Amino acid sequence: MKITYLAHSCIHIETGKHKLLIDPFISGNALAPVKANDIDCNYILLTHGHDDHVGDAADIARRTGATIIANYEIATYFGAHGLATHGMYHGGKWDFPFGRVKMVIAHHGSGYSDGNGPLIYMGNPAGFVLTLEGRNIYHAGDTCVFLDMELIARMNPLELAFLPIGDNFTMGLEEATEALRLLRPKKVVPVHYDTWDLIKADTAAFAASAAYLNVEAAVMKPGQVIEI
């Protein structure tokens, strides 16, 4: 499958004839390597309601007809706006035409700003374990490290993990390194860093920590593609 990093926490995955998009924060992200209007996808997965994750999801879903997969509150919100949605919650999994999605916990917030005043309640934040072409891929969303990561990996041995490393809002380098000890993925891609000064991160230091733990770190530039 073909995996493209679209900066921040946004990942585009092509598997067979399906195209998945995770956390499409494109408009307003100076590091985004594409325009929201140029992205094609069939499914959009949202880890939580923060604007740097929901991003352009509604516009892309409206244009492409993509189904939004997210927690019940986010799914209900966008469903009420006329979009196709599939709501889930922690511990639940569903077999979609492209593969399996399991929603897992994340420790974070999830309020959504539609630009009109107070944040809208969008339920609890999440991560996803995707089973695609027989391999498990974990997108942690925004979170701190938590000991239950060990359980996630025990139930779903991981080929690849996307982990936030930018600190302040999420794990920083030390926590992400602890996460690797618990998750033991074959490969890790750091995300959620360098978008703003507040989350600048030393990716070389993270890659060195990963190497020490026998995890291959793929530090992807925005727009870069890897095949797994």
Residue 163 Cβ vs Ni ion, minimum distance, rounded to whole Å: 14
Which residues from 24-53 bind Ni ion, rule CB under 5 A? 50
CA distance 109 to 112: 9
Given Mn ion, Ni ion, none, residue 159, with its beta carbon under 5 to 8 Å by kind, binds none
The residue at minimum Cβ distance from Ni ion is 50
Residue the block writes with tokens 């507040």: 198
Cα distance between residue 105 and residue 158, in whole Å: 16
Spatial CB neighbours of 16, under 8 Å, sequence gap ≥ 6: 1, 98, 133
Kindly state the smallest distance separating residue 49's Cβ from Ni ion, in Å.
8
Q: In sequence order, what DSSP letters do the residues of 22-39 get, joined into one string?
A: ES---TT-TT-SS-GGG-
**Shortest distance in whole angstroms from residue 53 CB to Mn ion:** 6
Residue number with CB closer to Ni ion (21 or 215): 21
Q: Which residues of the shown chain bind Mn ion in the complex (CB under 5 A)?
A: 52, 142
Q: Least Å distance between CB 191 and Ni ion? A: 12
* Count of residues that interact with Ni ion, criterion CB under 5 A: 2
Indicate which of Ni ion, Mn ion, none lies near residue 12 (CB less than 5 to 8 Å, by partner kind): none
Q: Are 167 and 195 in contact (CB under 8 A)?
A: no
Whichever of 5 and 169 has its CB closer to Ni ion, that residue is 169
Choose the one of Mn ion, Ni ion, none that binds residue 8, judging by a C-beta under 5 to 8 angstroms depending on kind: none
Q: Figure out which of the listed residues 14, 142, 167, 178 binds Ni ion, where binding follows CB under 5 A.
A: 142
Residue 129 pairs in a beta bridge with: 102, 138
Helix (H) or strand (E) holding 164: strand 158-164
Nearest distance, CB of residue 20 and Mn ion, angstroms: 19
- Reading the block at residue 51, the tokens are 């604007």
Tokens of 27: 């408009």
Which H or E run includes 205?
helix 203-212
Which region among 17-25, 77-85, 96-104, 134-142 touches Ni ion (by CB under 5 A)?
A: 134-142
- Report in angstroms the alpha-carbon separations of 52 from 3, 36, 209: 20, 13, 27
Residue 119 Cβ vs Ni ion, minimum distance, rounded to whole Å: 12
Q: Which residues bind Ni ion (CB under 5 A)?
A: 50, 142
